Amino acid sequence: MSESNDVARRITLAPDPRLVRSLGANHTLESAIADLVDNSIDAGASTVWVRLLTNDGRLVQVEVHDNGSGMDERTIDDAMTIGHQREYNAADLGHFGMGLKQAAFGNCDVLTVWSANSTLPPVGRRIKRVDYSTDFGCEVLTEASAALHTQERKTLTGTRVGTSVVWTQMRSSYHGRSDKEAIAWLATVGRKLRTHLGVTFHRLLERKRLAIFVHVDELGAGQTIRGTPVKPLDPFGYTRTGDPRYPKKLLATLDDRTNLTLTCHIWPAKSTLPSYTLGGKHGREFQGFYIYRNDRLLQIGGWGQTATYSPGRQLARVMLEDDGTIGRFLTMNPEKNSLRFEHRFQDVLGQALASDGTTFTDYLKDAEDAFTTATKRDRSRKPVIKPDKGLPAEVRKQVADELSFIDGQSIDLKWRSMPEGELFDIDRSKSSIWLNSRYRHLFVGDRGSQNDAPVLKTLLYLLTHHVFQGQNFGPRSKDDINLWKNILGVAVTAEQKLYEKREETWKPAATTPASSIIQRFNSTGIRGPR
């Protein structure tokens, strides 16, 4: 019997409202808020405010305000309808018609939306998880209340036009009794949120197409225009490559002759840049694919089924732009925080080649070799005395990542008054490198602090740390110190003269950067022993 002859009638099967209970189960707080930002961007917003409001230090309300085009009665009803899929433009970040509801019900029990466009009265809608899971019921809010919230949004965004999404009855919050834990939890959430938004939307933030502000405050404290701007966090934002042959583009042709381009990067080893650690984690956690759709990052690392996670591959990151691959070779989940690599993608990946013949397998091997080479180099270096007071924590951490230390010893770098014509001195008895405070203004102006002038101090540490080792201060070390003091003393005197000359020419005088003395230092061609 053919399929055309066995049909008795056709019926429509409405979804069971109880499916609402599982909405957003795979969302984190930060991925859910990112989904709301997607909606704001699709509405043409250039500014988005995220407010985390607390009661006694516990998160009780989340608000996302934008200056997008806003919605009318029909549009807001569509937005509150589960699974409603509008006509998406090619540049839209929306995809499933689920984002608003999933983001909310993965984190709270009540979703309220206020919106206003440029021509019609403002509108408001509210859905409660318990009602929505019974009959998909939605409350229509009064025009007066919508107008009030329009004014509140204007305080933040500068315009009445736009949309405000409000979550109440929060489930994603710390509900324990410990105030200390509540503070720590909220601080962690704020940091993770800024990091996630910074990396997810880094291209839009870098290009000034979007500004995002995060503000944490006690509920009822009133509106504020103070907020922490989210900084872009480019996962490919290294200053030097870990392998001079990379980045490389690997190309493969899909079934319809569309080109798939993989841009393969190798990070430098032991980087401590925020772009590598992405929120303070070890960079090895973020190896893998970074998949973009319309300049929005959909996947932050991970190999899927294409390769295995390995400490040796921690420097490998691959950039992939969606050019028709999502839905054909990659399947995106409704939360838009990960993708499934279909087996056809793996087949295509095996065909990808660079212009010099490099394959994806070759690339992984090159990344492993770069990591191995850096590790071997570390083992060949002798332990040194660690720097302590006088250097910023991030500099000390980088030194610790690159070098091993001699137990029980440290070197301080501090300022004190010294004779004219001297830049620094060595005090082995106090384990100190002294810098002449007479010339401090050349490097830090009038904004000195304990950890100031990090470039100068680091150079002097790297140059002289070896003379603190051992019990004896031998003739060779004494001669080296005198040589460096003499040359750098002349250099800093010359720097002071240039500064004074500029003082006479420019009023008020600008602070002289340390670059010129560093250039003089480099021009001597003298290097300290390793």
pLDDT in tens, 140-166: 999 999 999 998 899 889 999 999 999
Average pLDDT estimate for 390-410: 86
Tell me: pLDDT of 12 over 80.
no
Alpha-carbon span 115 to 95, nearest angstrom: 21
Contact 37, 212 (CB under 8 A): yes
Using CA atoms, how far residue 222 sits from 53, 216, 217, 395, in Å, is 11, 12, 9, 40
User: Environment class of residue 109 by beta-carbon count within 10 Å: exposed (0-12), middle (13-18) or buried (19+)?
Assistant: middle
C-beta neighbour count of 347 within 10 angstroms: 11
* pLDDT tens by residue, 170-221: 998 999 999 999 999 999 999 999 999 999 999 999 999 999 999 998 887 7
* pLDDT tens by residue, 416-429: 999 999 999 999 98
Chosen domain end from 376, 411, 439: 376
87 and 211 share one domain: yes
Alpha-carbon span 117 to 317, nearest angstrom: 42
Peptide bond into 247 cis (omega under 30): yes
> Among candidates 186, 162, 157, 134, which has minimal Cα distance to 20?
134
The region that residue 478 occupies, defined by phi over 0 for left and psi between -120 and 50 for alpha, beta otherwise, is alpha
> Among candidates 468, 413, 411, which has minimal Cα distance to 440?
413
User: Any idea what the CATH number is for the domain that residue 125 is in?
Assistant: 3.30.565.10
Q: Which residue has the higher pLDDT, 299 or 17?
A: 299
1 membership: H or E segment, kind and range = none
Alpha-carbon span 122 to 162, nearest angstrom: 10
User: What three-state secondary structure class fits 443?
Assistant: helix
Asked if the structure places residue 235 within a domain, the reply is no
Distance of CA 368 to the CA centre of its chain: 25
pLDDT of residue 276: 93
Tell me: pLDDT of 312 over 80.
yes
479 and 368 share one domain: no
User: In the chain, what percentage of residues exceed pLDDT 90?
Assistant: 55
59 and 178 share one domain: yes
185 and 205 share one domain: yes
Average pLDDT estimate for 366-393: 86
pLDDT of residue 387: 94
Asked if the structure places residue 239 within a domain, the reply is no
pTM of the model: 0.71
pLDDT of residue 88: 44
65 and 198 share one domain: yes
User: Environment class of residue 344 by beta-carbon count within 10 Å: exposed (0-12), middle (13-18) or buried (19+)?
Assistant: middle
Alpha-carbon span 101 to 84, nearest angstrom: 11
Contact 439, 496 (CB under 8 A): yes
Alpha-carbon span 483 to 477, nearest angstrom: 10
CA dihedral for 466, 472, 474, 480, sign (positive or negative): positive
Asked if the structure places residue 528 within a domain, the reply is no
HSE value, Cβ hemisphere, 13 Å, CA-based, for 89: 8
* pLDDT tens by residue, 235-253: 999 989 999 999 999 998 7
Quote the domain boundaries for residue 25. Answer: 17-229
Tell me: pLDDT of 329 over 80.
no
pLDDT of residue 525: 43
259 and 345 share one domain: yes
Alpha-carbon span 212 to 194, nearest angstrom: 9
Mean pLDDT of the chain, nearest integer = 85
95 and 175 share one domain: yes
Tell me: pLDDT of 514 over 50.
no
The region that residue 44 occupies, defined by phi over 0 for left and psi between -120 and 50 for alpha, beta otherwise, is left
- Residue 332's DSSP bridge partners are 339
* pLDDT tens by residue, 450-482: 999 999 999 999 999 988 887 777 888 888 899
If pLDDT is split at 50, 70 and 90, which confidence band does 279 have? confident
Asked if the structure places residue 234 within a domain, the reply is no
Q: Identity (one letter) of the amino acid at 283? A: G
Q: Identity (one letter) of the amino acid at 464? A: T
DSSP for 215-275?
A: EEEETTS---S--EEPPP--TT--SS-SSTT-SEEEEEE-TTSPEEEEEEEEPPTT---HH
> Among candidates 97, 72, 94, which has minimal Cα distance to 85?
97
Alpha-carbon span 516 to 495, nearest angstrom: 7
188 and 252 share one domain: no
pLDDT of residue 10: 74
Average pLDDT estimate for 443-447: 84
DSSP 68: S
What phi and psi, each to the nearest 5 degrees, are found at residue 471? -85, -30
Tell me: pLDDT of 271 over 90.
no
Chosen domain end from 355, 376, 397: 376
Chosen domain end from 323, 355, 376: 376
C-beta neighbour count of 501 within 10 angstroms: 11
Average pLDDT estimate for 330-334: 70
401 and 301 share one domain: no
pLDDT of residue 330: 78
If pLDDT is split at 50, 70 and 90, which confidence band does 85 have? low
If pLDDT is split at 50, 70 and 90, which confidence band does 336 have? low
Contact 153, 63 (CB under 8 A): no
DSSP 89: -
User: In the chain, what percentage of residues exceed pLDDT 70?
Assistant: 84
pLDDT of residue 4: 60
Pairing of strands 432-436, 405-416: parallel
DSSP 72: -
C-beta neighbour count of 304 within 10 angstroms: 18
Asked if the structure places residue 236 within a domain, the reply is no
Domain count of the chain?
3
Asked if the structure places residue 117 within a domain, the reply is yes
265 and 390 share one domain: no
DSSP for 454-489?
A: HHHHHHHHHHHGGGGSSS---HHHHHHHHHHHHHHH
